[in-house]
Amino acid sequence: ESRPTGIMVMAYGTPETLEDVEPYYTHIRGGRKPSPEQLDDLIFRYQKVGGQTPLYELTKGVADDLRARLDAEFPGQYKVYPAMKHWHPYIAEVVPQIAADGLRDVVGVVLAPHYSRYSLEGYRTYTEKALAQLPEPFRFHFVEHWHDHPLFRALIADRIRTALAEFPPEAQGKVTVLFSAHSLPEKIIAQGDPYVDQLRESAAAIATLLGLPDHRFCFQSAAPTPEPWLGPDIVDYLQELYDEGVRYVLSVPFGFVAEHLEVLWDIDTEAQAKAQELGMVLKRIRMPNADPEFVELIRAVALENVPAET
Ligand code: FEC
């Protein structure tokens, strides 16, 4: 008798209330409490985006839609679980639930397209730690990245095409497409991490799909730690573009898939303020969120990673 296969849909996690920000931040920092200044700064940003972000709702939306599609297509064959890295439902809470459901094989898909030891690897580590606590752990099939999936490239290309058409007539042909992804400590380069190569490769491939004459790439959302982080940062890069004569910019934060803090604050607030100060027009693509085309992509990624019958 065959058991259903699990699909764990994972994302970063977001605090539900402002009181949650401190424990959430402490979890991100591996158990070290943030300083009062760091905490105030983060609470301020969450307040400014409305007290919370829709990251969990969107992740749950993807999981719910994926479940509905798989139930219709392959009744009884799949079970879908949302799980978060830094907030409830924590990966450590969801893994034992999956095991209690009696599943033997589980595919893990993170809602972030590119691999880094600091990003995707962390999801695998949390899962494996939780599995190590179980008497009968399930077999975990982790998807390391999916930035090169044709449906991902087509989806972002499509979002770019739509957004470019929304610039005013006088801007047509003059818009610089600016890809960005979460910065990470610069030391990952020396460690041979594939993150930056994957980002550059996938930006170039999407630009080629669109036949863009030019595209640019920068980082965003570096954390306030003493060590150097990868740059250039988007706010500084807007200045560089302005100095080159660029006046119209389309922001493509393709390292993320949802409208969460790093998009709502870092792009829509901070980068937007810089663009306005410079007199530039900055627009952003619509994020994949829980849109049907995105669920279709995650469905493809998950099913392509289901192990063959053993
Ligand atoms: O909407 C939300 O509430 C959650 C937004 C959110 C996403 C996200 C994604 C990534 N992060 C990555 C790496 C790091 C590293 C540190 C770090 C720190 C923070 C802080 C907040 C935060 N991150 Fe995050 N990240 C999000 C939110 N992140 C808040 C803490 C304050 C701050 O710096 O703003 C540094 C940890 C340390 O201090 O030791 C490193 C990466 C991603 C993209 C991949 C993924 O989504 O998993 C990489 C969304």
The residue whose CA is least distant from atom 17 of ligand 1 is 223
CA of 117 to the centre of ligand 1 (A): 14
Q: Is 172 in the pocket of ligand 1 (CB under 6 A)?
A: no
Q: Is 35 in the pocket of ligand 1 (CB under 6 A)?
A: no
Backbone angles phi, psi at 252, to 5 degrees: -125, 85
CA of 259 to the centre of ligand 1 (A): 13
What number is the average pLDDT over the span 97-114? 97
Atom of ligand 1 nearest to the CA of 15: 3
CA of 256 to the centre of ligand 1 (A): 11
pLDDT band at residue 2, thresholds of 50, 70 and 90?
A: confident
Q: Is 262 in the pocket of ligand 1 (CB under 6 A)?
A: yes
pLDDT band at residue 263, thresholds of 50, 70 and 90?
A: very high
Distance CA 257, CA 14 (A): 14
pLDDT band at residue 1, thresholds of 50, 70 and 90?
A: low
**Cβ atoms of residues 128 and 161 within 8 Å:** no
The residue whose CA is least distant from atom 4 of ligand 1 is 14
What digits encode the pLDDT tens for the residues 224-249?
889 999 999 999 999 999 999 999 99
Q: Is 218 in the pocket of ligand 1 (CB under 6 A)?
A: no
Ligand 1 mutation target, pool 8, 9, 10, 12, most atoms within 8 A of CB? 12
Q: Is 42 in the pocket of ligand 1 (CB under 6 A)?
A: yes
pLDDT at 103: 96
pLDDT at 47: 97
Q: Is 246 in the pocket of ligand 1 (CB under 6 A)?
A: no
**Residue 309 above 90 pLDDT?**
no
The residue whose CA is least distant from atom 40 of ligand 1 is 184
Mean pLDDT of the chain: 97
- What is this structure's pTM? 0.96
Ligand 1 mutation target, pool 262, 265, 289, most atoms within 8 A of CB? 262
What number is the average pLDDT over the span 152-160? 98
Q: Is the ipTM of this complex over 0.95?
A: no
CA of 182 to the centre of ligand 1 (A): 8
